Amino acid sequence: MHTQILPLVRKSAGGELSSIGFFGHSFGGLFGLYVLLHHQETFSHYMIASPSLWWGDVEIPRTFLCDAKIAFSYGTDEPHKGGMSLAEFSKALHAQCPKACMNTQVFAGGHGDSIRPSIVLMLSELLGGGGFGECQEI
């Protein structure tokens, strides 16, 4: 990602990027959590939609920076497959970073139904429309 994808994105943007975001859904959301927790400086904004938290243990490192803008989303009818829920994860992250800018959006529907509205929120945020909304108390 650091040696191939990001240089290509920066080149196509003329080298000027004041903000760059990560969007991931399901297993891509789980990957986004890994990037957020271990390489947070890579992106300024993270939209983590319906991450597959049940896939593996996700632990928040003590060295987490709490600097990025973070939005989580999921569908009201998503089945819980075990492990930590997204609500539990976001509360744990907020407990470690009480001043971090985080927001959680819940959309009607199942697992795949959070994709489209989450993409709209991400694009609105990156284009200056405030798609993530105000930072919330989790």
**Domain membership flag for residue 13:** no
In this structure, is residue 93 part of a structural domain? yes
User: Is 60 domain-assigned?
Assistant: yes
**Domain assignment of residue 1, yes or no:** no
pTM over 0.75: yes
Give the chain's domain count: 1
Tokens linked to 65? 């920076």
Tracing tokens 């959006």 back to the chain, one arrives at 105
List pLDDT tens digits, range 75-126.
Answer: 999 988 888 888 889 889 988 888 888 999 999 999 999 999 999 999 999 8
Is 4 contained in some domain?
no
Domain annotation covers residue 29: yes
- Stretch 61-67: mean pLDDT: 83
Q: What is the CATH number of the domain that holds 88?
A: 3.40.50.1820
The answer to whether 138 touches 61, Cβ cutoff 8 Å, is no
- Taking the alpha carbons of 48, 50, 55, 58 in that order, is the dihedral positive or negative? positive
The one-letter amino acid at 80: H
Q: What is the mean pLDDT of the chain?
A: 86
Say how many residues make up the chain.
Answer: 138
> Helix H segments across 1-138?
5-12, 27-38, 86-96, 115-126
